[in-house]
Amino acid sequence: MKSVMKKSMVGIFIGSFLIFSICAGSSNRAMAFEPLKGDLSKYDPKNQTFPTSGDTIKIAMWDQVSGVNAYLGEAYTAILGFVAQDINSQGGILVDGKMKKIQFILADTQGRPDPGKRAAEKAILQDKINVFAGVAGTHLAKVGQAVAKEHKTIFVNVSAYSDELMDLPDWNEYVFRTCGTSATSGKSLAVFYEKRPETKFYILAQDYAWGHSSAGAFKKAIKEAKPSAQIVGEEYFPVYTKDFAPYLEKVRASGAEVIVQMAWGADNENLIKQSRQLGLKSPLKPEYYIPMASPFLDDTRPLEVIGGPAGRGLVLCTDFYLDRRVPNVNKLATIWTNSWKTWKAPYNTRLYQWPGGGWYRNLTSYYWYFQVLQKAGSTDPKKVIAAWEGDTFDFFGWKHYMRPADHQVIADRPIVEMVFPNTWDNPQNAMPGDPIWIPAQKCFPTFDEKLKGRVKN
C-alpha cells in the first residue's frame, strides 16, 4: 500500500512539475517581444516616452551628437527610439527575473577620441548602462573597444568598418560588430564588377584607417575577380575636406570609368555634389555622370541637391538594403514612412522618409541585441556573450550569423544601382533599384587566425 501511495505521489509530483514547466515555458514565450508587434502608431522621435528612471535596461547611443556630423546622433536617436517604443509597448524584456523596459541615454563623442572616451565612461560609471552602441569612425571604435574591455561592458559596433578593429590586440570578447566591413564591401563590389564592362577604377578615400583598409580590400578583390581591371589612380584626402576639385580633375584626366569612393558624412556629401558640379561624365555612357561606388551613396541630402538624373548609376555597395519585396521588410517600411508623414522638424525631411541604409543597419542591430538579451535572460555581460556567439537574426528575411570566434557577421551583401525615376515616392531624387545579392561565401569578413580555437565547438 505504501509503495502504491509512494508511486502515486511521485506521479503527482512529476505531473505537476511537467504542467508547471509547460505553463512557465508558455508564459515566457507569451512575454517574449517580437519586432514590429508593439504599438508604433504614435511614435514621434521628437517626443519620446521611454522610462527615465527605475529598474530598466539601459543602453547608451554613443556617437556624434554635436559638430559637423551631428545628424548621426539625431538619426540614431530616432532609430533606437523606434525599437525601444516597439519593445516597451509589448511590456519590455524578461531579464534577471523581471520584465524590464528599455531606457536610453545620449553619449556624445563629439567626433573625437578624448570626448568619446569620457562620454562612454560616464555612461558606464555614472549612468550605469548595460550596453553602449555606435560609432562612426575607426579611431572612435578603438576607444570604445578599449573602454568595453576595461569596464567589462558590452559594446555593439554598428557602424565602424575597418577590418583591423576585430583583430588582436584591438579585439576583445565584449565587442560585437553588426555592420559590414572593409572586406565585405570590397569583395562584394569586386564580384559585382566581375562581368560588367567597366575596367578602369579610380580610388578616392578618406586618409585614415577605414579609407586605406577599404581601398586595399577592393584592390585585392578586383584583381582576383577581374584580372583585366586597372587602378588608374589612388588618392587619400583628409577627413572634412571641403574642396575636392583637385582630386576630381585628376579623375577626369585619368580616363577612369568608376570612382571607388570611400567616404562618409560631410566628405561623402561634398564628393557627390562636386563631381556633378564639375561635370564629370562617364566615358562609357556620356549621357550619364561618372559612376561612384561607395557604401553611403543613398544619403538623400546630396541626392536632392544634384537632382534625379545626376544620381543615376551611382553604385551602393552597402551592408544593409531595405528590400520591400520581403514581407516583414515591407511591413517595417510601411509603418515607418506612415509615421514619418506626421513628424516635425528635423525629422520631416526626405533623409528620414524611409528606414533604409544606415538607418536599417542600426535598427536591425538594436533588435538583434535585444533578441540576444531575451535569449540570455540576463543583462550579465558573460551570459550575453555566450548567447550571442553563434546566434542568428533573420526576422527581416535575411539571415545574419554571429561568427563565434571573432564576433563578426556572416551574411549575404547587396549591391544596388541608383535609378531615376524610382519607386520610393521620391520624385526629386535617384533612389536604390532592386539589389543584386552577393552570397556570403564570396564576401566573408577577414579573420585573425590568432583567434582560431577561442570558442570550442
Task: Identify the structural domains of the chain with CATH numbers, from first to last.
Answer: 57-160+324-410 (3.40.50.2300), 183-319+414-442 (3.40.50.2300)
* Rounded CA separation 225/87 (Å): 44
pTM: 0.88
* Rounded CA separation 292/298 (Å): 11
Instruction: Report CA torsion sign: 69, 74, 79, 84.
Output: positive
Residue type, position 212, single letter: H
Residue type, position 239, single letter: V
- The DSSP 8-state label assigned to residue 163 in this structure reads G
Predicted confidence pLDDT, tens digits, the chain (457 residues): 444 444 444 444 444 444 444 444 444 444 689 999 999 998 999 999 999 999 999 999 999 999 888 999 999 999 999 999 999 999 999 999 999 999 999 999 999 999 999 999 999 999 999 999 999 889 999 999 999 999 999 999 999 999 999 999 999 999 999 999 999 999 999 999 999 999 999 999 999 888 999 999 999 999 999 999 999 999 999 999 999 999 999 999 999 999 999 998 889 999 999 999 999 999 999 999 999 999 988 888 888 889 999 999 899 998 899 999 999 999 999 999 999 999 999 999 999 999 998 899 999 999 999 999 999 999 999 999 999 999 999 999 999 999 999 999 999 999 999 999 999 998 889 999 999 999 999 999 999 999 999 987 6
Task: Give the three cell numbers for residue 118.
Answer: 569620457
Cβ atoms of 235 and 204 closer than 8 Å: yes
